[in-house]
Amino acid sequence: MENNTITISDVCKNHGQKQILDHITLTARPGRVTAFLGPNGAGKSSTLRILLGLDHAKSGTAVFGQQTYQQITDPLKRVGVAFDGIGGNPNRTVKTHLKIIAVSNGISTKRIYDVLSLVQLTSKIHAKLGTLSLGEGQRLGIAITLLGDPQFLIFDEPTNGLDPQGIKWFRTFIRIQADCGKTVLLSSHYLSEIEAVADDVIIIKKGKIVLAGELHEIMPNLKSLEDVFFSLTEGESQYEIN
């Protein structure tokens, strides 16, 4: 049986003499939405960059199933990532941008129309990248993650720039992806939105995991995920890692 779990094990990262990540261990399982939360500078981006092969750990491993990102032969068909913007020449059209990505990754160009429909951006197919609003850029970034119909979906601040209707759409979209068996890992500052979609929650503070567990298990005495988050990141933790 194929292993479709993201596993980060005992990852450490230093910047000079400063330890950025301190023995980070976490998992994201298929069929579930795993939220990765933490204040600015806590180590979220560093962890994701190591997972995606954009940075190197001092020690530990980060794998998709049993492979590092660098070992995956057709990465866009295995891992979809919305991270650090969409890139691309601002004078290039949406269709051309997606076509370049598809062709370079051995993906049928017919898939372009499917993903634009999924993110409700079909009307912008001939628009130039530079004319897209922030929210439209976010939707295009999500479309790119879906091009290869990958098992693993990684999102960094996916609702940034989306209007209330867009946020509602994203909730439904991400739930459908998980219910189809995808492995979803997302990082966000919008705690109320995370609470609406997450199955599992991992909180990092100063390079250490301070909480990991199922959403319904970590909120027994607090009213919201926001209460849990601030309790852990602004004061002494009253929780233990499951």
101 lies in some domain: no
Provide the percentage of residues in the chain whose pLDDT is more than 70.
93
Strand partners, 93: 128
Q: How far apart, in whole angstroms, are the C-alpha atoms of residue 63 and residue 28?
A: 11
User: Which string of DSSP letters, residue by residue, matches 79-130?
Assistant: EEEE-S---S-TTSBHHHHHHHHHHHTT--TTHHHHHHHHTT-GGGTTSBGG
Position 53 scores a pLDDT of 94
90 lies in some domain: no
132 lies in some domain: no
137 lies in some domain: no
pLDDT band at 239 (very low <50, low <70, confident <90, very high): very low
The answer to whether 194 touches 37, Cβ cutoff 8 Å, is yes
Position 240 scores a pLDDT of 38
* Assigned token pair, 16: 């000079």
The answer to whether 74 touches 148, Cβ cutoff 8 Å, is yes
Q: Which CATH number covers residue 179? A: 3.40.50.300
Structural domain of residue 214, as residue ranges?
6-83+156-234
Position 242 scores a pLDDT of 35
Q: Is the pLDDT of residue 130 over 60?
A: yes
pTM: predicted TM-score of the whole model, two decimal places: 0.89
Residues 172-177, mean pLDDT to the nearest whole number: 93
Domains in the chain: how many in total?
Answer: 1
Neighbours of 64 (CB within 10 A): 25
192 lies in some domain: yes
168 lies in some domain: yes
pLDDT band at 158 (very low <50, low <70, confident <90, very high): confident
pLDDT band at 193 (very low <50, low <70, confident <90, very high): confident
Q: Who's near 184: CB < 8 A, 6+ residues apart?
A: 28, 32, 33, 34, 153, 155, 174, 177, 178
pLDDT digits (tens, 9 = 90+) for 99-116: 999 999 999 999 999 999
Position 84 scores a pLDDT of 67
Tell me the pairing of strands 6-15 and 59-64. Answer: antiparallel
69 lies in some domain: yes
pLDDT digits (tens, 9 = 90+) for 68-90: 999 999 999 999 998 866 778 99
* Assigned token pair, 92: 């290039």
Position 48 scores a pLDDT of 94
239 lies in some domain: no
* Assigned token pair, 61: 């491993």
* Assigned token pair, 35: 């939220």
Q: Is the pLDDT of residue 236 over 90?
A: no
